[in-house]
A = this chain, B = another copy of it.
Amino acid sequence: MIRAVICGASGYTGAELLRILAPASHVEVAALASFKTAGEAIADIFPHLRHLSFKIPVKLRPLVPDTMHELLDEGDVFFLALPHSASQQAVEYFLSRGKKVIDLSADFRLRDPMVYERWYKTRHEFPDTLKRAVYGLPELYREKIKDAALIANPGCYPTTAILALYPALKHQIVSTEHIVIDSKSGVSGAGRKSDVVYSFCEIADGFKAYGVAAHRHTPEIDQELSAIAGSPINVTFTPHLLPVARGMLSAVYAPLKDRITLGDIHSIYVSAYQDEPFVDVLPHGKYPDIRNVRGTNMCQLGLAVSENGTLIIISAIDNLVKGASGQAVQNMNIMFDLDETTGLDLLPVVP
């Protein structure tokens, strides 16, 4: 049994880790911790977790220096579902004491600390630790993840974008210029917040772009796409807010370099992902719907080519699962040399 500690358990990604890990037979949720809600019962924060017939800790414990060592003793792996910048210290603490750490924040995703500081407006305190972090996208970095002690779990938008473009860039069938990523996210992507702009009455019946040409996931996307292509890529990235709680869909546009049929492109994608348990290249003419991946760790991809020779890839995930907590568990499975799908046989609840 792997003993898992979840730090930041009162947020949505924390709750999602509980939903996935509590029934898993290979993991024991050993402790829950939180900065702000320490002392509260998890069932008061998330009444839906009353239904857990599985044993989980009743209360949230404090995530403070005084008592960190107690948490340390109880876990083999630490999931940090904390806000950006708040995660740095906790990662350092657990990692330096020999624990495996999966960090769901953005703190260890950007390899260059200068880029981190520019986009997150805060210094990176542990540039050396940054070098040890592995970007936790199994479809690209499975081998490195196996040996990693620190996983920088990918952002939700980057997960959709990178999985959408990986085969095309690797096979060099698209230009690295004029790439457009038009993404739409459910509201849970913003976290569990007391903020009037995320109140029901301000979101319902609405739809809008935000962070246009300025979203923090842009450098993360650029970093990973550039690594695949072997040359610098600067994408145009526009996120939007959907009036749904969860789900994420990106439409990715890249000009094709040469004449290639949609059939051949489809074959490239099917081939690239044929052994991947969580990437599903849909048949010709089919496109994903966020409903169909809701609650699951799947990424669904649909392909098309426009009349003017642009490759269109539609990519859908559940932002809280493949875009966060499910991918974190997938990484844990790899780190502990388990079957990657263990505990991740999740079915969508439709309708």
Contacts and interface: CB of A to CB of B under 8 A. Distances in A.
A195 B348 CA distance: 23
Contact of A212 (B280, B314, B347): B314
Interface in A271-319: 277, 280, 286-296, 298, 302, 304-308, 310, 312, 314, 316
A236 B312 contact: yes
Interface string A1-30: 000000000001001000100110000000
Given A51-B293, A298-B51, A243 B244 contact: yes
B12 A351 contact: yes
Interface residues of A, number: 89
A255 B289 contact: no
Contacts of A351: 12, 188, 201-202, 204-205, 245-246
Given A193-B199, A292-B51, A213 B304 contact: yes
A177 B245 contact: no
Contacts of A243: 200, 204, 242-244
Given A205-B247, A213-B304, A213-B312, A349 B295 contact: yes
A306 B205 contact: no
A19 B292 CA distance: 13
Nearest to A346: B51
A314 to B, nearest CB: 5
B200 A245 contact: yes
Contacts of A302: 209, 212
A250 to B, nearest CB: 10
Given A245-B204, A302-B209, A307-B213, A292 B345 contact: no
A69 interface: no
B195 A198 contact: no
A310 B180 contact: yes
Interface string A191-233: 0111110111111111111101110001000000000000000
Interface string A233-269: 0111110101111110101010100000000000000
Contacts of A349: 19, 246, 294-295, 349
Interface of A: 12, 15, 19, 22-23, 46-48, 50-54, 177-178, 180, 182, 184, 187-188, 192-196, 198-210, 212-214, 218, 234-238, 240, 242-247, 249, 251, 253, 255, 277, 280, 286-296, 298, 302, 304-308, 310, 312, 314, 316, 341, 345, 347-351
